[in-house]
Amino acid sequence: MSTYEPGSTFIQEVETTVAEKVAVLVCGGGTAGCVAAIAAARNGADVLLLERDHFLGGMMTKGNAGLTKYIVHGTDADEQAKIVEKLRANPAEVQLVGGIPLEITHRLLEGKAAMGTAGTGASYVYTDSEAFKILLYEMMQEAGVRVVLHSMVCDLLVEGNAVMGVVTQTKAGRLAYLCDYVIDATGDGDVAALAGVPFALGVGPGDAVHKQKLAPLGQMQNIGSMFRIGNVDFDRYIDHLREHPEEFSPQRFGLMTYVEMLEAYAKGEMVIFIGTTPSGRQFQVYNYPHPGVMIGCISLGGSRNGLDLSELTRAEYDVMIETRDLVAQLRESVPGFERAFVLDTPKAGVRETRHFRGEYVLDIADVLTIREFEDAIGKGCHPVDIGPIPDEVEQLGQRNAWYFNIPYRILVATGCDNLLLAGRCTSATREAAGCLRPTVPCMIMGQAAGTAAAMLSRSGQAARDVDVQTLRNLLREQGAVL
């Protein structure tokens, strides 16, 4: 009988080549990782970025996601309308995001590869994913970041409380990259998990148990997808809505009113709203930088664990099937979609897995009360989209034109001297993480993590000991809004 049976374990020795050593190693080439790498390199560090896919951009390029929430956000329609008017007249008055994220957006807009609210880098921006891939590649070259694609993190070299290097599995075998500092921007926090940083796995406020290895499994946000539909006759569809306004659903938080949508479309700007089929099925509508293309969105029902291979595999198939069925229904029943077809069903979007323990854990009360932090490195304003929120917390409320502050300490992994977190694996409760996980907050955290790593590479300090005020001054000098 073979010693290799299902459920058995074995130890394997694998020959690994040490490829090189760098000052700052960024793992993950999504929005957080790309901005972190650019920031670290621009601040003088020797930077290498590792990415498992064959291009950069993460969910922005392989998931068709939008750049979400650049401006102070209103909590009702009247307040939001006033903010959008200010945005048209003087963007700086209401803009919450600057620095590298805004630079990227402006470059996309200038290249006609993006559309934004009020025609600017604002509340929502949708981009041409192919153009975005190339722009990120060009920005890496400009900053002097070396990029290695097709490289999946599979192990670490650890001494004491420091990660000395990252081991990757590649087509060329296993390769190790030594580093002084590492930034985990893998989304699921693969580096931090291997390093033994405590985390919670999608658990609610009453079950927030942080411990090494697998934490108790709890409810996690559903998995979704932003897919592209081709051959949409937008003029015909909008004309249909003029005659049938009842098929335009009431405004949801952050979306356009009926009048705002018609005005924006007439100006050739971005539109974002909820449509309704004659049968009553709702569907999200986002136009695209190129004519005839629309972005749609679906969310799969129930909680799915993005770290479970069987659940993740099933989700990929379900995304394709639900997308096919929705587009077929649109084609049969909604004017303007008669010749529509599915352009792509991208990688399923995992919204939530591990929440790591940092030097501070951002919670929903910090978000709703707009808590001030001495180590704030940026702002966010994405709505709270995880519930139910405990009554005693919800009563704290949100003021009009709200935002929240992001402290540096949530980027610092506890128990590890040289590991920084950036993106949706940062230190927050699951409710607060729902506000942090979108693309723009991830980019904000990426710029801060990259800038801090460059500073640390000169001082040799532990990540928790960075001079926060110097970091904040550097971020301001480089355009960040604090």
Residue-wise pLDDT tens digits, 161-174 = 999 999 999 999 99
Please give the backbone phi and psi of residue 477, each rounded to the nearest 5 degrees, phi first: -60, -30
Q: What is the pLDDT of residue 16?
A: 94
Q: What is the pLDDT of residue 7?
A: 84
DSSP H or E segment with residue 377:
strand 376-380
Q: What is the pLDDT of residue 121?
A: 60
Q: Of 262, 252, 242, nearest to 77 (Cα)?
A: 252
Residue-wise pLDDT tens digits, 224-262 = 899 999 999 999 999 999 999 999 986 665 578 898 899
Q: Is 260 exposed, middle or buried (0-12, 13-18, 19+ CB in 10 A)?
A: buried
Q: What is the pLDDT of residue 213?
A: 36
Among the residue ranges 97-101, 116-120, 421-425, the one predicted with the least confidence is: 116-120
The token pair that represents 297 in the structure block? 């969105």
Q: What is the pLDDT of residue 207?
A: 44
For residues 67 and 70, give the distance between their C-alpha atoms in angstroms, rounded to a whole number: 8
Strands 272-276 and 282-287: antiparallel
Asked if pLDDT for residue 15 goes beyond 70, the answer is yes
- The model carries a pTM of 0.93
Residue-wise pLDDT tens digits, 433-473 = 988 999 999 999 999 999 999 999 999 999 999 999 999 99
pLDDT band at 214 (very low <50, low <70, confident <90, very high): very low
Q: How many CA atoms lie within 13 A of 454 on its CB side?
A: 24
- Stronger pLDDT, 38 or 352, i.e. the higher one: 38
- Stronger pLDDT, 340 or 366, i.e. the higher one: 340
Residue-wise pLDDT tens digits, 22-60 = 999 999 999 999 999 999 999 999 999 999 999 999 988
The SS3 call for residue 445 is helix
Q: Letter for the amino acid at 412? A: V
For residues 69 and 66, give the distance between their C-alpha atoms in angstroms, rounded to a whole number: 9
pLDDT band at 92 (very low <50, low <70, confident <90, very high): confident
Residue 206 neighbours by CB distance under 10 Å: 8
Residue-wise pLDDT tens digits, 385-418 = 776 665 666 666 666 667 899 999 999 999 999 9
Q: Of 425, 416, 427, nearest to 357 (Cα)?
A: 427
Residue-wise pLDDT tens digits, 288-305 = 999 999 999 988 877 788
pLDDT band at 210 (very low <50, low <70, confident <90, very high): very low
Quick one: average pLDDT of 5-18? Answer: 88
Residue ranges and CATH numbers for the domains of the chain are: 18-220+352-482 (3.50.50.60), 224-344 (no CATH)
Quick one: average pLDDT of 91-118? Answer: 88
Q: What is the pLDDT of residue 89?
A: 79
Q: What is the pLDDT of residue 205?
A: 46
Quick one: average pLDDT of 201-223? Answer: 54
DSSP-assigned letter for residue 94: T
Strand partners, 275: 248, 283
For residues 28 and 24, give the distance between their C-alpha atoms in angstroms, rounded to a whole number: 13
Q: What is the pLDDT of residue 216?
A: 44
- What percent of the chain has pLDDT above 70? 90
Q: What is the pLDDT of residue 364?
A: 83
Q: What is the pLDDT of residue 157?
A: 96
Strands 67-68 and 47-50: unpaired
- What percent of the chain has pLDDT above 90? 62
Q: What is the pLDDT of residue 126?
A: 85
Residue 302 neighbours by CB distance under 10 Å: 10
Strands 47-50 and 16-27: parallel
Determine contact, residues 352/437, Cβ cutoff 8 Å: yes
Quick one: average pLDDT of 358-376? Answer: 92
**Mean pLDDT of the residues in the chain:** 88
Q: Of 97, 132, 188, 94, nearest to 437 (Cα)?
A: 188
Among the residue ranges 100-104, 219-223, 354-358, the one predicted with the least confidence is: 219-223
Q: What is the pLDDT of residue 390?
A: 59
Strand intervals (E) in 202-258:
224-230
Residue 12 neighbours by CB distance under 10 Å: 4
CA quadruple 319, 324, 325, 327: dihedral positive or negative? Answer: positive
Residue-wise pLDDT tens digits, 411-438 = 999 999 999 999 999 999 888 898 899 9
DSSP H or E segment with residue 366:
helix 364-368
DSSP H or E segment with residue 321:
helix 309-333
Among the residue ranges 154-158, 185-189, 382-386, the one predicted with the least confidence is: 382-386
Within 1-75, residue ranges assigned H as helices are: 31-42, 59-62
